[in-house]
Amino acid sequence: MESERFLRYCSNESCEFYKKKMRGNIIQYGVQKNGTVRFKCTSCGKTFTKTRSTIYFYKHITKDELKVMCKLLAKKMSFRGIARKTNRHLDTVRGMFRTVNENFDKLKNYFLKDLDLSKEEVNSMSEHLKKKKSKKTFKN
């Protein structure tokens, strides 16, 4: 999973250790109510979760749910249909795929390796998202 390969670095731009990996300045700093582990930079004092720099940040979706959503999108199912099938709100589905669409080139390997999607499914998703973008389906 992408968050399991979390690289421990500070995401605070004003910190001296900003994006400097494995410097020993990041410590575990408790757990949120939903079980997500929190981290703290000992240099600047900022806290963050391991999902901070991932597509799961600020999304209430698990890896398995994303996999199902991607497979349904590859089958050319509508966002509304995906929302019904996965029992998620339409805005949640739309927001997730907006993030996926914005970062699609970076996420291709993640879809192939970590989510075990086939190349055909990834290509189908790409085509479907391009059509959605051209129809201005993604709300800002």
pLDDT tens-digit series, residues 79-116: 999 999 999 999 989 988 888 888 888 888 888 888 88
Question: For residues 77 and 85, is the Cβ–Cβ distance under 8 A?
Answer: yes
Instruction: Give the pLDDT confidence score for residue 10 in this predicted structure.
Output: 81
Exposed/middle/buried for residue 96 (C-beta within 10 Å: 0-12, 13-18, 19+):
buried
Burial 106-138 (b: 16+ CB within 10 A, else e): ebbebbeebbebeeebbebbbebbeebeeeeeb
Instruction: Give the pLDDT confidence score for residue 114 in this predicted structure.
Output: 80
Question: For residues 122 and 112, is the Cβ–Cβ distance under 8 A?
Answer: yes
pTM attached to this predicted model: 0.66
Domain of 106? 63-134
Instruction: Give the pLDDT confidence score for residue 4 in this predicted structure.
Output: 39
SS3 assignment, position 38? strand
Q: Is 50 exceeded by the pLDDT of residue 34? A: yes
Answer whether residue 57 is part of any domain: no
Instruction: Give the pLDDT confidence score for residue 137 in this predicted structure.
Output: 62
> Is residue 11 located within the same domain as residue 37?
yes
> Is residue 67 located within the same domain as residue 34?
no
How many structural domains is the chain composed of? 2
Amino acid 72 reads L
> Is residue 69 located within the same domain as residue 116?
yes
Q: Is 70 exceeded by the pLDDT of residue 3? A: no
Residue 50 backbone phi and psi in degrees, to 5: -70, -15
> Is residue 44 located within the same domain as residue 69?
no
Residue 78 Rama label (left phi>0; alpha psi -120 to 50; beta): beta
> Is residue 31 located within the same domain as residue 88?
no
> Is residue 72 located within the same domain as residue 21?
no
Structure tokens at 10: 């500070």
Structure tokens at 60: 């209430």
Average pLDDT over residues 33-51: 81
CA distance 14 to 85: 43
> Is residue 96 located within the same domain as residue 34?
no
Instruction: Give the pLDDT confidence score for residue 139 in this predicted structure.
Output: 57
Q: What DSSP state is assigned to residue 112?
A: I
Answer whether residue 56 is part of any domain: no
> Is residue 67 located within the same domain as residue 92?
yes
> Is residue 67 located within the same domain as residue 26?
no
Segment 6-31, tens digit of pLDDT = 557 787 788 888 877 777 788 888 88
What whole-number percentage of the chain has pLDDT above 70?
84
